[in-house]
Amino acid sequence: MKGTKEEIDKLFEKSLKELDLHHLDEAIKSCTEAIIGYEELGEYFKCARCQNLQGVIYAAMDNETMAVDCYLSGLEYCRKHHVKNIEHLFYCNIGTRYMELGDTAKALDFFLKALESLEENGEGLSELYEKWTIVNRLNLGSAYLRLGRLQEAEDNLKTAMDLSERTNDNTYSFTIMCGLSKCYLARGAEEYTRENLQIMMEYARLKLEPLNDYMQDIISFTEILKALEEYDLWRQCIEEFDQLSRVVKSRTVMLQAVEFWLDYYSSRGMAKEYKRMCIRHTQLYLALKKHINQDKIMALNAKLELQQAEDDVRAARIRLEKDDVTGLKNRYAMQKYGGKEVELAYKTGTMLAVGILDVDHFKELNDNYGHLRGDTALKQVGNILDNCLDGYGNVYRYGGDEFVLIIPNGTYEVADKVAKKIIKSIAKSHIPNKTAPIRGELTISLGICCCIPKKSDRLENLFDIADNILYQVKNNEKNDFIIKIIENNENSTS
């Protein structure tokens, strides 16, 4: 799809917005496009972050299998591309899945792993580090609270609150206050909760958080209000959520609103209202069950579409880097990967051999046999070079009848062995070229330079040196090779 960084960033932001509005089909579509775009641009951090978001969207669709698959794939992607400063997001969300499934001990393990990863690798994240630390501490507090480890729960929740106040980030203040309230109520202390009831009610009205987080907070807040027998605030809270459910038109959210009313009417002894709401609950539940199955099908389709898109990108990349005539990597691929070989050789202090090879009297071969036979000869040469370089390095078709060899750890001995193997293999192939001076068969000339690159060296520098060495061979009798070792910017022939 190839777009600019700014265009892909907008897709990511659009996906976040659609998730917040619970427009999940649109969210997954934008997220999928963003993943492909970031991958094409080599924006590995943002691509990994988008993969995490994809998992969050599938979780919102109630598709746990696809969500966990995204998180595990994301972790693998981070390791492949060395994006360690975002691994904690995947750990956090896997932990959240365990929390929702009731395995709090397993969830806690992942939350602790997430915090360790964030603290170890979070350097350079700037404001994201603080935001993600708040979320991580909040998750830990929630897990400890559910396990009855109240002091550890309070410590983590207070840390999250302090950081929220210091950074003026109120996104999760409602969640933190609900958690702290539950901590204190579990100890039989109501003061903190009663002092902050109106503040929490205001947060309930503001709806600052993403929808899924907000729904969990309202569940916690209604439990607190019920325990304190604050019936008026309890009703107001449900009304706020009920109003939101009608706006977002999500069956899951609407069903949760009905369950809030059922609990309220049951606690208040309102039999008529309770009966009416039971009927509504049954209707919504059946509709939701059907909708969940449809969502799972759509999520599976989206996953398959993403896989196909990724396959198409890989195939296009291979085509872009492949020479049509010989099947070898082309000049574009050489420029893409060759520079990395030079940089690696410099960093490791190892020898690198760069060779340039061309076919002797190739113009005459084309003139005598035609361009189709010329292409066939180039393909034969390419196959020979590929076989001779196997296990040593890579060969590229530079253009015309020229080929480039790049050999890591390319000492003089290695280069000499490869060059002799090439000359011998070409001779054994008996490719016809009747105007050639040696047996009327195709021959090649090869120039190779071997060096430990300096920091200032680029592939083009070594290419020019090898090209000059090739011309020395061409100016002699061809059908030969010369290798030169380059030391301290001086050429010494071997």
Condensed to tens digits (0 to 9), the pLDDT of residues 170-211 reads: 989 999 999 999 999 999 999 999 999 999 999 999 887 777
Could you give the dihedral angle defined by the CA atoms of residues 29, 33, 38 and 40, in that order, rounded to the nearest 10 degrees? 150
User: Which amino acid makes up residue 416?
Assistant: D
Q: What is the reported pLDDT for 174?
A: 95
Exposure of 165 in the CB half-sphere (CA atoms within 13 A): 8
Q: What is the rounded distance in angstroms from the CA atom of residue 242 to the CA atom of residue 244?
A: 5
Contact 452, 349 (CB under 8 A): yes
pLDDT per residue as tens digits for the range 468-486: 999 999 898 888 999 999 8
Q: What is the reported pLDDT for 492?
A: 41
* Domain map (residue ranges) of the chain: 5-312, 331-493
Could you give the dihedral angle defined by the CA atoms of residues 342, 346, 350 and 355, in that order, rounded to the nearest 10 degrees? 30
**3 state SS of 2:** coil
Q: What is the reported pLDDT for 494?
A: 41
Residues 6+ apart with CB under 8 A from 333: 321, 322, 396
Q: For domain 331-493, which architecture applies? A: 2-Layer Sandwich (3.30)
* H helical segments located in 370-458: 371-389, 412-429
Q: What is the reported pLDDT for 66?
A: 85
Residues 6+ apart with CB under 8 A from 386: 328, 395
Q: Does position 322 have pLDDT exceeding 70, yes or no?
A: yes
pLDDT per residue as tens digits for the range 264-294: 999 999 999 999 999 999 988 888 777 666 6
Q: What is the reported pLDDT for 93?
A: 93
Q: What is the reported pLDDT for 291?
A: 65
User: Which amino acid makes up residue 75?
Assistant: L
Q: The tokens of 167 are what? A: 């950074």
Q: What is the rounded distance in angstroms from the CA atom of residue 353 to the CA atom of residue 407?
A: 5
Q: What is the rounded distance in angstroms from the CA atom of residue 482 to the CA atom of residue 477?
A: 12
The domain 5-312 having CATH identifier 3.40.50.300: the answer here is no
Higher-pLDDT residue of 248, 384: 384
pLDDT per residue as tens digits for the range 416-433: 999 999 999 999 999 998
Residues 6+ apart with CB under 8 A from 176: 138, 141, 157, 160, 161, 164
Contact 425, 481 (CB under 8 A): no
Q: The tokens of 407 are what? A: 């050999």
Q: What is the reported pLDDT for 490?
A: 42
Task: For residue 360, report the phi and psi dihedrals to the nearest 5 degrees.
Answer: -70, 135
Q: Which residues in 321-341 are b (16+ Cβ under 10 Å) and which e?
A: bbbeebebbbbebbeeebeeb
| Fold: same for 5-312 and 331-493 | no
Q: Does position 245 have pLDDT exceeding 80, yes or no?
A: yes
Name beta bridge partners: 406: 354, 394
Q: What is each CA distance from 66 to 19, 73, 303, 454, in whole angstroms?
A: 16, 10, 8, 48
Q: Does position 147 have pLDDT exceeding 90, yes or no?
A: yes
Name beta bridge partners: 445: 358
Q: Of the candidates 18, 2, 113, 99, which has an alpha carbon nearest to the alpha carbon of residue 57?
A: 18
User: Which amino acid makes up residue 172?
Assistant: Y
Pairing of strands 481-487, 402-408: unpaired
Q: What is the reported pLDDT for 336?
A: 86
* Mean pLDDT across the chain: 89
User: Which amino acid makes up residue 406?
Assistant: I
